[in-house]
Each structure stands twice: as C-alpha cells, then as structure tokens.
Structure 1
Amino acid sequence: MARSSLTDRLVDLRRGYTGENLSQAVPAVRAALHADDVRRRVAAALDGVGTARGLVLPDAEDDAQRALECVVFQAGTDAGAHLQLRPPASMLRPAHAFRAAEPGPLSRLHLTGYALGPLLFELLPREEDGWLAGVPGLRTRQHPRSLELVLLDTEASVVFAGVDARRFAEGMDYVRTLMTGRGLTGVFVDGPLSAAERDHLAEFPRPTGLGSALLRRPHLFADTPWVRSWSQGDTWWVEWPESVGVTGVVDRLLDPVFGFANVREVPGVAGGLGLSDGWRELFLRVVDGPDPAHEEALAAADWPEGVTGWGRTT
C-alpha cells in the first residue's frame, strides 16, 4: 500500500534528487515541515498551487558557500575521467564521484567507492613551477569520520562523509602516483592564502552560479554513465551521454518544491535546453554515447605512466 502522509511523500521525492537513505532524508524533511506555514505552502505546491522551492531541499545560503560547492561540483565531474580509467577501463561503467548529498546550510557528501583520490587531485591547491593547480584558497580539516573542505576567510564548508585519516591517506596515494607519473613535483599549499593563489584568483575568479544546486542533487544523474561540466562566471554547461533525457531533467529542475528557485526555461544551445534566474544560466544537453564495441580494447589497454593514477589491478 502506498504511503500517503505528506512527510513520506516528500521523503520519497527528495531522495530522488539527493540519493539519501531514509535515516538521512526523514529527519531533514520533518525539520523543514516543523513550521505550520511551511507545511501549508509545501502541500499547496504539491497540489499545483504556487511554489515552495528551497524549503525542503535548501540551496546554498551565501556566495562563499555557493562558490565552494561550484568548485566541488566541477571537481566531481572532472573526476569522472579518472574513474573511467580505473582497471578495467570503461566508458560505459558509471563514473560518478558523488553517491548522495545531504543539503543543509552546508553540504555533506557521500562519495562513490574510488572517487576520493581523483577528487583530491582536482581540488587540493599546489604550486607547479609557475602555475597553480587545484582550487586556490581551499583547505582541508580532518575529523574522526569525515574530511571537511573550507575556503579561507569564509564560513563555507563541504564535508566528505566517511573519509577518516586512513582513507584520506589512501586517496593521497592516488594523487602522488599520478603526479609522479606526470613528472609533477609541486608543493601543496597550506596555511594562509599564498601569493600564487592570490594572483590566480585575480585572473580567474572562482565559478559561481547553479553548479552548487546541481551538487546538492546528484541523484538526478544516477542513471547516466558520466557527466561533464564547464563554466564561465555564472554560466554553466552540463552534458551527458544518451541515457536520461534533457527534458526530464529540466522538468525536475523546475519542480515547484524540489527545483531551482526563481528559474525559468530559456533557449538552449547545441540542441539542449537552458535555465536562468535572470543572471545565472545553466545549459544542459545530451551527447552521443560511447561505442560499446570499443569496450574490450579499452579494458585491455596498457596505459603509460601519467595517464592514470591507478595500479594495474586496482
């Protein structure tokens, strides 16, 4: 028999966006519905009267949190290329970095099994012979059962759940293996903002925009093999291979309860669809998928050092 309470209905809907389990989603939904006016507004929106976006699935509350979540989202999609090359390499196997998100004032993320090393490679700032890799101003704080990412001089925070000191060390093994293979000898930046980081930010400000809201909704793309993204300022482009249709994703991002706040559909590019809130834009499209006929050769390839940080039998 189908569950009928408002809470249960919202829990099921929220999990379709975040990938949370019941023990994570139920308390969050109950807390959101604590105020009677919120409950009435959400119930009305579910019945097609008005909207209640941001109440049951909140978005980032300030620019710093949004910026941090945007760079983490970007790192997550970039990590997909690393995950595709994990032996046996495959373009068809799911290559997502994030399994679930617990969105609140801050974001708590649950990683897929092999994602930590690639994420650390993409995120941790290091100075490499005149250029800066990683995210300037990002620092980590190790907790007993999690790793916290912060931006210097802000309150912004993203937590990687389940990443203890041992798992962090394993992730760094991947980073160092890949750096060695590529002949990189850079020094990881710690402490206050370095001169190199300051110069980099002056030339390349951190991305903002709707990438943060996508980070909080990772389950939207659970049925795609991978997702690619890139950004310029407040504008994002996101694509994935044929699997989940663009129209279905856009419809869910326009949902009156769980969609993006204050957005409307706008003309897309290259056959896709777009969303905008007037100054931030997101363009989504589906691209041709990989050819399954190439999978056997890809899996058998002997990758030279520097292409991948995985061991041959990872």
Structure 2
Amino acid sequence: MAVLALDTSNYTTSVAVFDGQTGCNRSKLLEVRPGELGLRQSDALFQHVRELPGLFEQLERQGLLDGIAAVGASTRPREAEGSYMPCFLAGSSQGRGLAHTLGVPFFAHSHQQGHLAAAAWSAGRLDLLDGPFLAWHLSGGTTELLRVEPQGCSVKGEIIGGTTDISAGQLIDRTGVLLGLNFPAGKALDELYRQTDAGPGYRVKLDGLHFSLSGMENQVKKLLERGEKPADIARFALNTVCDVVHRATVAAQDQYPGLPVLCSGGVASNRHLRHVLTEFCQAIFAQPQFATDNAMGTAILTWRAWREGGQV
C-alpha cells in the first residue's frame, strides 16, 4: 500500500507517492518572468492548479496511483498558529477532495515538516524524526535554525536562530538577478562560484544564533558598480552565507551539545555549504533533489500517520 501527497509551495508544484520504503516525486518549477524576483500569490496559485493534473498523469503512467491508502498535503508554511500562505490552498483542497473521493483519510502537514522529513529520509536517517535534533531550513523565503522535537507521527520545530530580515535564498536570488541570471538563481550562482578563487565574503555579525543579511545586498550592488567580475561577486555572496551559517551552527552545537544537525531547503543543495558544514560540523544533508521543494517529505509523514492510525 502507498500514500499520495501534494505540496504547492511558492515556486514548485509537487506530487509524490511513498510505500514505507521507496517513493517517487514529480515536480514542476513555477514560471517567473526574466528579471523578476518572484511571484504574486495569485499567480502561484493559478500555476499550481494548472500544473497538478500533469503531475498526476505522470504518476498514473508509472502505475503508481493504484491502491492509495491515504492522502496528505502541505497546508501551511510552518507548524505554528497563524501560519498561512494562499498557494498551499491548491494542494490542500485537491488533496482533501481526492481523499473524500477515494474514501481514505487525509492528513495535513506543514511545508517545513515536509522539508525535514524529506531531508532525513533521503540522507538515510529517518530515525532522526524520533528524537530531538537541530535543523536548518534554508530556502528562498526561509533561513531558520530549529530545535526539533517529535510530535506524534511528525515533528515540530522551535526557531532558535537564523536571519532577522532577508533569507539566504533571497540574497542569493537577488545577487543572481543583479548579475542577469534567471530566478531562482541558486544553481547558476553555484556554477559561477567555481569559476574563480577570489577571497572570502563579508563576516556578518552573529547575535547569539541570529544574524542579518539585508546589508549584504547593498555590498553586492557596490561590487557590481565597481565592475567586479560576476564570478567574484557570486563567490562573495555565497561565502558570506556559508560563513555565517557555519558560525551559527557551531554556536548552536555548543548550546545544544550532542544533537545532530540536519540541513534542508533549496539553499542546502549548495556544494560549498555542504562541504563546510559536513566537514566541520558533521551536518547531515538531504540529497540535492530532495533539498529543494518537494512532496516526498509530506508523503513520508502521511505514511507514518496512516501506519500508526494517528492524527496530525
């Protein structure tokens, strides 16, 4: 028996199935016009509704939609009161409708819970979900350091650190757009990074486990105005992010000794960040394809809830 899950985040439409051991995720990145820094929620919602049938068709052609035992969906950004974003209505409404049609239970999760589950599973460490751990959620809209505890068949994260303003992903994407790259710019900026051996980035001040990145966008603009090479600017931005995330991780490990560190979110697929945190902090990373937005984590949590007959 398998379960079906949907995730309709701000930039990716995803549908996945999971049978307790293996799974399949199908995703479609939403379209952002060249030069723009994102999507309005109404545009994202429209694109999700348009793309979902095609993703279901892909799973159907693989014979993966037979015998679905439960349906789950990401219904909100975080597991917190008042957490809401309209784009998640596309997945949650279709998920609830499918569950009623099939006569199977529906389980609601948060987008962040799905990220953590996908990261743990793809790293071969699903056991992490059964105990406390530290986690980074590093994405286009979120840079949060969490202390995570089990919550029934799922998990709940308490924010203990991260940015106080723009996210690491926003700095990376804004840097990329300034350099003429398409949004989202993470992969392209990562490729530019490898084309130079320019010096380190800016040493951002760490206030406990929190830090600010808003001033770094102005620093990037100044480098661009001075005529610095795009590869050097890319390296400056990525080194700045990697350095402050590394230092915050070390500080968190000192404050919460013995807890493993799990890294999720699209920014966590950056090769330099993975190298630094793996070598110096023994951090655990999602496989790159499951670091970005996906429905696999939501499917994993749905399967755990269905297996236990739990409520989430």
Q: Does TM, normalized by the shorter one, top 0.5? A: no
Q: TM-score, normalised by structure 1?
A: 0.30
| TM-score normalised by length of structure 2 | 0.30
Q: Which has the higher helix share?
A: 2
